[in-house]
Structure 1
């Protein structure tokens, strides 16, 4: 790991979270091979679900891989593989219920309630 000007150069074989230990965990849904085991185990602790740090796909299913045994997977992941498949389309929402029919209103010319009668004049 080194800084060149404002560009951060990252070793493609190290964990993208801690940038220290070698990558050894592949996330089954997206296939990304980007984390070491300790960082992968720390994902999703707390109130948020485990997510891939690269594409934010569900990372609750992980597979520990050894670099030598998974060189092909690691090489594809180093090239960032393919994005996860799009979610299946959602069914259309049900139609809205029809509003009740409007009732005709009776016409009134009153401007409000009838005021009380005036008291008789004083003599």
Structure 2
């Protein structure tokens, strides 16, 4: 599937995604994989689907808002240090460019992102 054509829709919960292993230097526990599927580019903003299988990995974030569609994870904010959050379906989260995080996914996490 390619980007959405104007006037069309897709069930983001079931779009097939092609997973690949995360970079070894980001993986802290397990063998998580991830997949991204862009849905639309609006000016300089990208909207898409992202998914990660169970495991723990570090990341440096982009400016992003996302909505969790399915799964469960805990996000720890390493830099700047902030309280960790648990994310479940329906939660909307804002990340900031350069934030360093650790994601512990316990149930495959799928989200819609706007970045």
Same fold (TM over 0.5): no
* TM-score bracket relative to the smaller structure: under 0.3
Q: TM-score, normalised by structure 2?
A: 0.22
Q: TM-score, normalised by structure 1?
A: 0.21
Greater fraction helix: 1
Greater fraction strand: 2
Structure with the larger RCO, 1 or 2 (CA within 8 Å, 6+ apart):
2
